[in-house]
Structures are given as structure tokens and as C-alpha cells.
A and B are shown apart, each in its own frame.
Chain A
Amino acid sequence: EAGVTQFPSHSVIEKGQTVTLRCDPISGHDNLYWYRRVMGKEIKFLLHFVKESKQDESGMPNNRFLAERTGGTYSTLKVQPAELEDSGVYFCASSQGSRSRQETQYFGPGTRLLVL
């Protein structure tokens, strides 16, 4: 069974540009999460989809971040315009059922974003 995949693995952009990150969860997983880790700090929650619906987006830093999950399958996270403080590793995770709690979240390898 394929794990969570993310694309691209790395992205280097200039301040003010736009970047779109993609996450493909494990097939059949209803829950999809986005997290971010800024260098040396903890992994921080950004938002949570249940199928195609946003369940919790309390961790989104500001309106420069837009997440979508088309048809309840893959998800994209767009940053527009990017700022220096957006640099970090963006992780996607998925879990199986609609219960959400008490379920293992499987993480993808992350997208390393560097904003110059």
C-alpha cells in the first residue's frame, strides 16, 4: 500500500511569489491534515479535512494560505504571496475513518519550502 506522498519535495521561491503544495493521502483515508515545522521548532497543526470538507482550519496563519481538497482525494495548499516566515517543512498526514480521534495519522515526507 502506498503511503502519503507530497509534491514537490523542495521548493525555493522569492518573497511575493506563489507556491502550491500537493498531498496525496493513503487511498481511502477520509482524514487529511496539514502541519508545518519551522526549523528547530515543533510540528504545528494547520488544518484538517474530512473528505472534501474543512473540519478545522484554526491553525492557518493568515489568508495568504488556501487549502483545498478536490473530491475528497488529494489536497493542495497554496501560499500567495509567500513571505519569508512561511519557510519551513510542510507535512501532510492522513488517517482512515470519519471518527478522526484515536486513529493513527500517517505522515508524508514533507515539502521543504524556502522563501528568499
Chain B
Amino acid sequence: QQPVQSPQAVILREGEDAVINCSSSKALYSVHWYRQKHGEAPVFLMILLKGGEQKGHDKISASFNEKKQQSSLYLTASQLSYSGTYFCGTEMSTGKLIFGQGTTLQVKP
């Protein structure tokens, strides 16, 4: 089943924080987060596998709730380079990813 992302779009000023959510009505096997800039390849950010897991690097982190039905991506002190479309994807049994509809993030100076 396709995960649902919210919000669909967000506009920030540099230095502000943002949270992007990825939800499903059923438990997800795992969550993969990607960022895609216009005209470029989606870039892998992180993967979460276990309920209750949290991980991150630099000022981007993510969590996976205990029931594995929601993941959130946290962007703190946003930079211009954070602009792009963020996708969460969940794995199916064969390894393919089913992506959410994407969240467009625009960071302004």
C-alpha cells in the first residue's frame, strides 16, 4: 500500500525547522527516505528498519514509531541546499519500493 506523506509542500526561511511525515494504515517493513532536486537523481538519505528507531546525520534525522506505521523526517536549521522533493518509500516483499507522493520543500534566504 502506498504511504501517505504530509505536508504536500512547505516553504521555509533559512534556519527554520521542518517535519515531514510518512504514514500507513498498516505496519511498514521499512522506510527509505530520499531527496530529489529538480532534474537530478533521487539521493538516499536514510533507511529505518525497526520500530522505535531513530537515526540521523548532520541536521537531518528521522524516526520510525513503535507500531511501524509512521515515520517522520526532521530537518533542523534548514539550509538552501535542503530544497527539493522528499520521498518516503516502503519495501515490499521482493525489495521494490513503493513511494509516497512526495513533499516539496523550498528554503528561501
Contact = CB atoms under 8 A, between A and B. Distances in A.
Given A42-B99, A101-B91, A109 B40 contact: yes
Question: Which applies to chain B's interface (DSSP): helix, strand, loop or mixed?
Answer: loop
A48 B100 contact: no
A100 B98 CA distance: 14
A35 B44 CA distance: 15
A102 B49 contact: yes
Contact of B87 (A4, A43, A48): A43
Interface string A19-50: 00000000000010101000001111100100
A105 B32 contact: yes
Interface size class of B (residues with CB under 8 A): 20 to 34
A4 B96 contact: no
Contacts of A41: 101
A33 B99 CA distance: 14
A91 interface: yes
Interface residues of A, number: 27
A31 B96 CA distance: 10
A45 B96 contact: yes
Interface of A: 3-4, 31, 33, 35, 41-45, 48, 55-56, 59, 91, 95, 100-110
